[in-house]
Amino acid sequence: MPQLRVGMLLLADRGSDGYPLIRTAAATSAHLLAQVQSSRVPAVLHELADGSYLSVITRTGRRHSIPPITEGVAVRVIEARVTARSADGKSKNGHLDNCTGLRNSPERAF
């Protein structure tokens, strides 16, 4: 992480815990695209015309928290549904949440 600079892109898979990685990367001003773990459920703060939405990644990863969220990183979430097919024709469906620090949209900047 110390080598990240403005204009660089960090790609991260969901094998890492989203919040510490996203928080640290955001502080470097580098671009980020990270899959978050399936146990995280990002809150939909504002839906965008392209189907993505603005959210905040927090330490707990819960959609609702009490007391209210006081710390987090603003992100854009791009949901993806994927289907993998094996050589024998069997398929398995899955869902991925991809978070990016690129929050600008023609509709609204966050």
pLDDT band at 108 (very low <50, low <70, confident <90, very high): very low
Residue 106 CB-density burial (10 A; 0-12 exposed, 13-18 middle, 19+ buried): exposed
Is the torsion defined by CA of 101, 37, 96, 58 positive or negative? negative
- Whose CA is closest to 19, among 72, 70, 68, 69? 72
- The answer on pLDDT for 107 being more than 50 is no
What tokens appear for 12 in the block?
């991260």
Q: What is the pLDDT of residue 25?
A: 84
Is the torsion defined by CA of 101, 79, 39, 70 positive or negative? positive
Q: What pLDDT digit, counting tens, does each position of 73-96 carry?
A: 888 888 888 888 999 999 988 878
Q: What is the pLDDT of residue 110?
A: 40
Helices (H) then strands (E): counts for the chain? 1, 6
Q: What pLDDT digit, counting tens, does each position of 11-69 carry?
A: 888 766 667 878 888 888 888 888 877 777 778 888 998 889 988 888 765 555 555 55
